[in-house]
Amino acid sequence: MNTTTISDGLAALGRDAPDERALASLVGSATGLPGAVPTSARIEPVDYEIGTPSTEALLRVLGTAELPSGESVEWSVFLKKLQSTRHWPMMHLVPEELREAFIQNLPWQLEIAVHRSTIATLLPDGLRLPQLYRINEYDDDRATLWMEDVIQPPGGWPLGRFERAAYLLGQLSARRQPHLVEPLLPRGNVDVPGTGLRYYTGGRVMNGAIPVLADDQTWQHPLLAEAVCSTGDHGLRDELLELANRLPAVLDRLDTLPQTYQHGDASPQNLLVPKDKQDEFVVIDWGFDCPQAVGFDLGQLLVGLAHAGELAAEELPTIHTVILGAFMEGLAAEGMTVSEDEVLYGYLGSLLARATFTALPLEQLGKTSDCNLDLFVERVRLTRTLVNLVSSIS
């Protein structure tokens, strides 16, 4: 082992840099070959926009190793650096009087709690956690997870993959009913139905997006105005504001529905598909660790790739129909009896609260560069699709 070359390659990790023995153990775990001796190592930032204040960085550490036979193999591990929200560089955007509540309501330790819990025993066949190799925890409310690097196949999701994911999420939801399990990270009033969605909606949507959507100047911005004209969707604003008036009643109704602990952020980006085993999902980035209306997870499953620009809005209605039916089948397979109307309301009501008012790229309106008309046109179409889907609930 060329320890100087390896230590140089990992120096940027700072206190997370493993010593010789720890790196050998990591490489043995990552390759499944305990006798592998690391011969090189380097760090690569992950090309993914971080949207969660509790995530400090996403990295890959990769390199080569030599087997006892003399053969050389490649290895890689995935690093996720976690932090208390109080370390978030954008904290100044949160009003001072709201910061403590913001910190407490975004528990940075949740992913650690996931790996230390018994959740793996509840996952149906086809869902699994990534292998966890190591946790570095620090007394300044930071930690680093060293995990399996899941290599995914290229291309988008076929319809059948959405269907299978929805079925498995239905099974998971049935297995995590409140009378069967507890929160992954017990704290405060986390066992109150809908508390996570209400906190998110109160800040991000009611105090953030909706006032901007109600402002005449928003719709007079050249990019949004041109996108609306391009699509001919001149009624979008009024329909969004009408839905905003209905939102408090929708949240109240969601709390009366059958509740389950769910994944909480089940977008395809958090259901990784291994290239060598494409019938399974590696589940990461759990969220909303509280009871939510049954069907909650379907909203992010539907909208995640479209919001990332990787799926056309016109494909969503077909996916919507497929995942609703598959989710119902997954619930039934575990013996959870609920009506399709209840699941549909839980799904679409949560989609209304969480995604419909934030699909337009409002954060781009104040920028003087890097604004893209195509993005606005795409997001107007996405917003229209969501509005059409959720307008059926009351």
Q: Are residues 215 and 95 in the same domain?
A: no
pTM of the predicted protein model? 0.94
Residues 209 and 186: their CA atoms lie apart, in Å, by 30
pLDDT digits (tens, 9 = 90+) for 8-31: 889 999 999 999 999 999 999 999
Res. 74: pLDDT tops 80: yes
Q: Are residues 243 and 369 in the same domain?
A: yes
Contact assessment for residue 178 and residue 291, using Cβ atoms and an 8 Å cutoff: yes
Q: Are residues 160 and 26 in the same domain?
A: no
Question: Which residues, including other chains, have CB under 8 Å from residue 148's CB and lie 6 or more apart?
Answer: 30, 77, 78, 130, 131, 132, 133, 282
Q: Are residues 204 and 225 in the same domain?
A: yes
CATH number at residue 217: 3.90.1200.10
Q: How confident is the model at residue 3 (pLDDT cuts 50, 70, 90)?
A: low
Q: Are residues 185 and 112 in the same domain?
A: no
Of 249, 263, 393, residue with least CA distance to 327: 263
Q: Are residues 156 and 145 in the same domain?
A: no
Q: Are residues 377 and 291 in the same domain?
A: yes
Which of 117, 149, 181 is a domain's end point? Answer: 149
* Range of the structural domain that residue 355 is part of: 152-390
Q: Are residues 183 and 257 in the same domain?
A: yes
The tokens describing 36, both together, are: 């592998």
Res. 1: pLDDT tops 80: no
pLDDT of residue 9: 83
Q: How confident is the model at residue 346 (pLDDT cuts 50, 70, 90)?
A: very high
Provide DSSP, 243-279.
HHHHHHHHHHHHHHS-EE---S---GGGEE--TT-TT
Q: Are residues 89 and 163 in the same domain?
A: no
pLDDT digits (tens, 9 = 90+) for 267-301: 999 999 999 999 999 999 999 999 999 999 999 99
Residues 194 and 289: their CA atoms lie apart, in Å, by 10
How distant, in Å, are the alpha carbons of 257, 317, 379 from that of 314? 29, 7, 12
Rounded to an integer, the average pLDDT of 188-206 is 92
Res. 366: pLDDT tops 90: no
Which of 111, 127, 149 is a domain's end point? Answer: 149
Contact assessment for residue 66 and residue 35, using Cβ atoms and an 8 Å cutoff: no
How do beta strands 271-272 and 281-283 pair? antiparallel
Rounded to an integer, the average pLDDT of 351-370 is 87
Q: Are residues 53 and 110 in the same domain?
A: yes
Q: Are residues 181 and 288 in the same domain?
A: yes
Of 273, 234, 264, 258, residue with least CA distance to 345: 258
Q: Which residue has the higher pLDDT, 359 or 367?
A: 359
Kindly report the average pLDDT of the chain as a whole number.
94
pLDDT of residue 320: 98
- Count of domains forming the chain: 2
Which of 92, 126, 149 is a domain's end point? Answer: 149
Among 103-107, 116-120, 196-200, the minimum mean pLDDT is found in: 103-107
pLDDT of residue 370: 64
Q: Are residues 169 and 230 in the same domain?
A: yes
Contact assessment for residue 81 and residue 57, using Cβ atoms and an 8 Å cutoff: yes
